[in-house]
Amino acid sequence: MRFNHFSIIDKPFEEKLADLHALGFKFETQFSAKRNLKNWLLHAPIDLTTLAANGKQDVLAFLNSDNDLTWHIFYAISLQLLDFVANFEFQLTDSLDFARSVNLPLVDTTCDLSSENVLSAIYLLMNTRRKNGMTLVEHWVSENLLPLDNCYHFFNDKTLATFDTTQLIREVVYVESAVDTQNRGTYDLIKVDIIRPKFDGKLPAIMTASPYHFGTNGVANDKKLHDMTLTLAEKPLGIIEISDTKLALKTYPKTELPNSETTEHFTHTWTYSLNDYFLARGFASIYVASVGTRGSDGFQTSGDYQQIAGVTAVIDWLNGRARAFTSRQKTALVTADWATGHVAMTGKSYLGTLAYGAATTGISGLDVILAEAGITNWYDYYRENGLIRSPGGFSGEDLDVLAELTYTRNLDAADFLANNTAYQKQLADMSQSLTRNSGDYNSYWHARNYLPNADKVKADVLIVHGLQDFNVTTSHAFKFWQALPKHVVKHAFLHQGSHIYMNNWQSIDFSETINAYFTAKLLARELTLDLPPVIWQKNTVAQSFESLATFGAHDIERLTLGGACEIASFDNHYSADCFDSYSQNFQTFKADLFENKANAIVIDVPISKNMRINGQIVLDLRVKINDTKGLLSAQILDFGKKKRLNNVSSILDIKTIDRGRNFMLDDLNELTMADKPYQVVTKGFLNLQNRKRLTERVTVPKNEWLSAEMRLQPTIYELTSGDTLRLVIYSTDFEHTVRDNREVRYEIDLEKSRIFVPTPTEKEKNDN
């Protein structure tokens, strides 16, 4: 394994000593280093009889001997405390070399073993991750190093698990939003699940907004899926006019009601393990599903600012600016008298999407968002450059399909009777507005685009996104990163996985890093964490992360596609049997496509030097087709058999991460290496009628050469000298696009076509 630590905060020696003293470890700097080491080990929650100091002595024998302490002995003991197995995983006489091989954080081992140096080494070790995915200090706290006193304790400016999770308060409130999505003449109520530890003071909140939280309607979802076997439509020419409508809030009278305690409670519910981690550390967990979901009012408006308003209403309530009721009958008010008003938002996919949306309202009280694989423009999720494009793995899905999945009020029979007829009318209107006949951007999609409101963001923005995520593609993270004003604090974690969480990986201290950040932002403490702008997982080796200056480099490397007068071509049409086979299993199509067995132009470009892609690869293509409508698809591969990272994490150990004190146990995961014939680097799609710009539909002159620029999905990817970059250009993609089987021939003038690859400038390289 390999450690990657970003959460460790460098502190003056006096503060290190104070942190250690707060844990119950008393040191005297006038004592010898060995005596202080002995004092530390004797007071730690460990069985010293199981540890060895060197090849001849166990730890107790060494501590009671006259033998001198060396750095080899110190780190031999340390590695065992981190759960590495002596004699099998490392040799006691070779501890330093092994420690360096796993990138263990080390003090300067060329310095003498003074008390101060050894105590600094102990402090650093306490902040180091064990093999089980917990830092040593957190592991020991889970083993009762500190009492469960429901008070805040800090180590290295992070909160510790000292809140009793066996006594959690679980309550339900109904927050009054500022919207009326059914036009009933009353504000929609939003059901909210709250889980909070007992505490004498006020607590900050970590909120996850998920329309899936109270269930999903899979039956309605599956019935609504669209048939992707369609002929590409030829669109009328002209400019698409976009109206920028603002959310109009209505004003309704509010009746006076008495205050009361919460009356509705719950036992079990879905929770995000990162939120569970913070529950044990003195942060409340809030789960909200917003309008149109089970237990709430309203219709599912699917990503617009009405749905966002249903989320931000909860932040308003936590800050005393909105009302909440003890039940849907609205008989009594309930206040968040336990809340400080400081809020962070977390979550992946739709959850991260609503975090992005909430941040773009500029709402007061939202201090930081952790948006993981979130959507920042709903058009870019279901469309691309004038084309219908299904998210990776979800062919036939569209926004109206997702609405059916998440309109869970229909799961309650009484709600179905009262509201389904009106809801189905709204759903039909949505289906009409989605432009499935054209794939065009329009005002409906514009109302679900958060990017124009990025200038309103006040919260710090932490972005997490998988560079192999072709469900919520990397363009969402990249465009939001680029759109944020300079004064907004932003950081990105870019891993090599697909649409997955990374908070329980072995190789990176992600949870502890977020702990340091949330502790500062939500508990009004100084942010001492020195976090780089971008933390990027290398694609060439396992368990390796690197600090980068930015997402999106500024130098351009130009690669040519062919020689003088070189023309390549492919046909769009497949035989009936082949078309049916690819339609039934797009994985078969992808395998044939990448291995040059499908209808495509395949160009292998040898890489003669080490190259790091950082940003959007652009294809500048000279194209001719024998029709007046067409689509282009392109993928770039790192081609050639070698070991590469899997894009889905594997379980290394079951239920080994303790999120509190024998509270919620999480699996230890990691992206592992495997032999692969190729790796997708990026991909992109384009309707040739939208080749000028998204909001303009132009002609496709039959049998005439035209220029088409394709911006592919942003990525950061490293190629080494001797690698092969494989460019695949084709039309119908059986995973993503409409399955158009017309007899159309595409030609590409390779001499006049180029690949433009963004690479870091010298300054950007030096800033890493």
Catalytic residues: 349, 469, 499
CB-based contacts of 414, cutoff 8 Å, min separation 6: none
Alpha carbon distance 111, 98 (integer Å):
19
Amino acid 239 reads I
Question: 628 and 702 in contact (C-beta within 8 Å)?
Answer: yes
Give residue 628's Cα distance to chain centre.
40
578 by DSSP, 3-state: which?
helix
Question: 430 and 447 in contact (C-beta within 8 Å)?
Answer: no
CB-based contacts of 427, cutoff 8 Å, min separation 6: 400, 403, 404, 407
CB-based contacts of 202, cutoff 8 Å, min separation 6: 337, 338, 339, 340
CA-based nearest residue to 510, from 353, 666, 286, 284? 666
Question: Element (H or E) spanning 426, and its range?
Answer: helix 413-433
- Beta strands 724-730 and 631-645, pairing class: antiparallel
DSSP letters for 257-303: --B----EE-S-----HHHHHHHTTT-EEEEE--TTSTTS-S---TT
Dihedral over Cα of 103, 109, 110, 116: its sign: positive
Largest separation between any pair of C-alpha atoms in the chain: 91
Question: Element (H or E) spanning 437, and its range?
Answer: none
Number of helical H runs and strand E runs in the chain: 20, 32
Q: Kindly report the three-state secondary structure assignment for every residue of 346-367.
A: CCECHHHHHHHHHHCCCCCCEE
Q: Torsions phi, psi of 97, nearest 5?
A: -65, -40
Q: Which neighbouring-strand residues pair with 709?
A: 620
Alpha carbon distance 80, 86 (integer Å):
7
533 by DSSP, 3-state: which?
coil
Question: 192 and 172 in contact (C-beta within 8 Å)?
Answer: yes
Alpha carbon distance 366, 564 (integer Å):
58
What separation in angstroms does the CA of 108 have from each of 71, 79, 529, 615, 746?
10, 17, 21, 37, 62
Question: 504 and 668 in contact (C-beta within 8 Å)?
Answer: yes
Question: 637 and 595 in contact (C-beta within 8 Å)?
Answer: no
33 by DSSP, 3-state: which?
helix
Alpha carbon distance 368, 351 (integer Å):
14
Q: Which neighbouring-strand residues pair with 176?
A: 189
DSSP letters for 586-626: HHHHHHHHHTT-SSSEEEEEE--S-EEEEE--EEEEEEEES
What separation in angstroms does the CA of 233 have from each of 309, 627, 699?
36, 12, 13
What separation in angstroms does the CA of 640 have from each of 563, 648, 677?
23, 20, 5
Alpha carbon distance 406, 401 (integer Å):
9
461 by DSSP, 3-state: which?
strand
